[in-house]
Structure 1
Amino acid sequence: MFIPLALIAFWPSPVDQPVSGQLSVVLQFLHRHGIPWWFNYQFVEAAANVLLFIPVGFVGSLAFPAKRWWQIGAFGLLISGCIELGQLLFLHERFASPSDIVTNTSGAVIGALLAALAAQTQKRPAAFRQRASKKQ
């Protein structure tokens, strides 16, 4: 999980550079066929940043079950801040972005909340089985 994240984060050139032309063509096609204009390149980039960090939050919650969602979010903030700092200092074709930190952290929080929801749904069937066995 962390290897793909590291490859994307520290690739020497922007990872979307090879497909930016095709993405523009696809977005223009979608806009001509009824997709709203707010669904643009910036939206796709932000959504990709959120999606990239959902596994960080999910796995972080599973690895540290005693941590609350906001602590996992702070962990995502730390990782994202380190990535952006690394891009600023070492990758001259990339650029650090505060909005990337926000979207990455949001992804980590969403992942942590999804892990909490999954854990909660796993507990419910056990509680139902326990009550059912007591009734018999």
Structure 2
Amino acid sequence: MFREVPVLPVVVPVAAAVFLILLWYLHSRDRLSAPRAAVALALCVYAAGVVANTVFPIFLDKPARSALWKVYLVPFANYEVGDAVTNILVFVPIGVLVPLLVAKAPWWRVVAVAAAFSLVIELTQLVTRNLLGGGHVADVNDLIFNTAGGALGFGLCSALSRVPAAAALIDRFRWR
């Protein structure tokens, strides 16, 4: 067996530290409230979950792969519907969280953040698989469907923001 970097002792302290930094940030700008703290917590838990499930396992002593680096670059080839739906659903929170965190977040900025976050994940998977014996493969389809999930989340948030009662509630959670 290969020795693994344990997930929880890495991800939980990092998420907790980021959460405390976000609370300090809100407090220093006199914006700290329970709804905004809930957004900070949701962001940290979400990011920790995504990292734990997309980057890990990372092995300490598994030999690096000597073959060419494996990347799936052909869109929609051998990609299952279940994987597409999962990737869309996992990135819907990005489309909701970004408009809560950033004042006047246009759709293209939210989509760009979702695409950038997904690209970072895919590049990390490529590096960890080939240098640390990780178990995930970089796939252009993941990038496509993750980005679509971010756009869907933004659409849902925008639609809810047009309902007066929901808009008032959403505004309590906004950081601007």
TM (norm. structure 1) is 0.66
Please point out which of 51, 57, 64 is paired with 1:6.
51
Structure 1 partner of 2:42? none
Mapped to 1, the partners of 2:141 and 2:167 lie a distance apart of: 40
Shift of 1:124: 8.6
Structure 2 partner of 1:45? 83
Mapped to 1, the partners of 2:87 and 2:141 lie a distance apart of: 10
- Identity score, percent: 26
Between structures 1 and 2, the one with greater helix share:
1
Paired residues of 2:160 and 2:167 also in contact (CA < 8 A): no
Specify every segment of 5 or more residues in structure 1 that has no aligned partner in the other structure, as ranges: 14-40, 127-136
Structure 1 partner of 2:120? 82
Query: Which amino acid counterpart does residue 77 of structure 1 have in structure 2?
Result: A
Deviation digits for residues 56-108 of structure 1 (CA, Å, limit 9, x no counterpart): 11111121240111210110000000000000011342110001000000000
Q: How many pairs are equivalent?
A: 100
Paired residues of 1:62 and 1:115 also in contact (CA < 8 A): no
Please point out which of 87, 96, 113 is paired with 1:58.
96
Runs of 4+ in 1 over 4 A off after TM superposition: 123-126
Structure 2 partner of 1:96? 138
TM (norm. structure 2) is 0.52
